Amino acid sequence: MNKRILITASLLITLFFLLSSPNTYAQQQNYFTVVAEKSRDVIFETAMEVSVGDYYLNEQNKKYRIIKVDGKKCIAKFEGTVKLIEDDDNLFALSQGLLAQKGNKLIALYNTHSDESYKPTSGTHSEPGKGDVFNVAAMLAQALEKKGIEVIHNQSKHDPHDGGAYERSRRTATRLARKRPDAIFDIHRDGVPNSKEYTADINGKKFGQVRMVVGRQNPQMKVNDKFAKEIKAVTDKYYPGLVKGIFYAKGKYNQDLSPRSLILEFATYVQPQEAASVSVNLFADSINKLLYGGESEGALGIGGTTTKQTKANESSGAFSAIGIILAIVLVIGGFLFFANKTGAGGAFSNSLGVKEDDDKGEDDN
């Protein structure tokens, strides 16, 4: 009997130490670290699964492909610097706003990992069914709505935070895709315990960066990729440093449902929610400029038919052209009038290929 009590007590003590040990979510190596093949410098960290064949476009548009995964440590090979916009025609198209002529403006938002929270704000990294990411999505929706864009924010819960979350959120994404929105964004926050991974400084103000994720295993991958690069091109122009990078990960992430569908990770869980609140406003402005032409300059500052200044320039140019045409007409008209008076009208008309009617009064018959 005493032996059984002793064994039970030992098990309870062991269990107590296991539960009270520093093996918390924040302290476990529950995230991946990707380093460069030669220098071993850290390229990026993420709590998303990293697989061989995945690749990453960093803040400076340098492309790295994952060539080895050893547990949570990954090695990536540098493949070159990527040009976000291929040619001047695409650049000009961006400046017009991709959907500037479209009547309705509609963006859809949802949250696959509906438990994700920011620990400094909520005291925990996870709040099943009511994570802080709902607030971030709501802030993004509000920022877009202020720009005259209709937003559908589906607040369905997809707990638990496991491998089946994306299958559960697929029902939500499918319902949203049926509304035919201009873009669908799945709002997340990352799970790396390093705040510096997602901290940037613009004009002396610190804020949480945004990382985009494109699924490599879906038929829409190329168009999703193009969309992500276009967003980064616009954001790099207006808010350099806001976009942390683009991670091309193994998976679909429901992005096969729409040609403009992306995961957006706003900061990481060890940062306060306020770090993301600054980012959503800047990112909303980039989306507006890219898709609809924005309110000031065109997306890349090289025109844009939706801008006030460009409209003024176009009107001014039109009036100038009309004025020039009228002036030419008046000059020619005056010359013809003078020529007819002097008897030289017929020769001038014939030199222009204008033949005088023989039967000026044909209606008299």
Structural contact between residues 224 and 213, judged by C-beta atoms closer than 8 angstroms: no
pTM of the model: 0.73
Q: How does pLDDT run across 1-60, given as a tens digit for each residue?
A: 555 665 555 544 433 333 333 333 333 458 999 999 999 999 999 999 999 999 999 999
Instruction: Describe the chain by its helix, strand, coil percentages, rounded to 5.
Output: 40, 20, 40
Distance CA 234, CA 298 (A): 10
For residue 308, what pLDDT band results from cuts at 50, 70 and 90?
very low
Using DSSP's 3-state secondary structure scheme, residue 274 falls into: helix
301's enclosing H/E stretch is none
- The single-letter code of the amino acid at 264 is L
H helices of the chain, where?
2-20, 88-96, 119-122, 133-145, 165-177, 221-238, 273-292, 308-342, 345-351
**In 10 A of CB 359, how many CB atoms?**
8
Which pLDDT belongs to residue 202? 75
- The single-letter code of the amino acid at 102 is K
Mean pLDDT on 327-339: 42
**C-alpha torsion 25→26→31→37, nearest 10:** -150
As beta bridge partners, residue 55 has 65, 248
Q: How does pLDDT run across 246-297, given as a tens digit for each residue?
A: 999 999 999 999 999 999 999 999 999 999 988 999 999 999 999 998 755 4
Structural contact between residues 264 and 246, judged by C-beta atoms closer than 8 angstroms: no
What percentage of the chain has pLDDT greater than the value 90?
62
Which pLDDT belongs to residue 21? 35
Which pLDDT belongs to residue 266? 97
Q: Which of 105-109, 277-281, 291-295, 332-336 comes out lowest in average pLDDT?
A: 332-336
